[in-house]
Amino acid sequence: MKINRTTQVLAASVLGLTLAGAGVAGPAAADDNPSSGIDVSVNITPTTTPGQLSMTVADNNGVSLQESGSDAAARQFTGTLPTVTVSDTRKPEDIPAGEYWAVV
Output the average pLDDT for the chain.
Answer: 76
Looking at the domain assignment, is residue 60 inside a domain?
yes
Looking at the domain assignment, is residue 101 inside a domain?
no
Looking at the domain assignment, is residue 102 inside a domain?
no
Confidence check: pLDDT of 26 > 50: no
Looking at the domain assignment, is residue 100 inside a domain?
no
pLDDT of residue 25: 45
Confidence check: pLDDT of 71 > 90: yes
Looking at the domain assignment, is residue 99 inside a domain?
no
| Boundaries of domain holding 67 | 5-29+38-94
Per-residue pLDDT tens digits for 27-59: 555 566 666 677 778 887 877 777 888 888 888
- State the total domains in the chain: 1
Residues 20, 62 contacting (CB under 8 angstroms): no
Looking at the domain assignment, is residue 103 inside a domain?
no
Question: What SS3 class is residue 67?
Answer: strand
The model's pTM is 0.39
User: What are the C-alpha distances in Å from 11 to residues 24, 68, 102?
Assistant: 17, 24, 10
Confidence check: pLDDT of 24 > 60: no
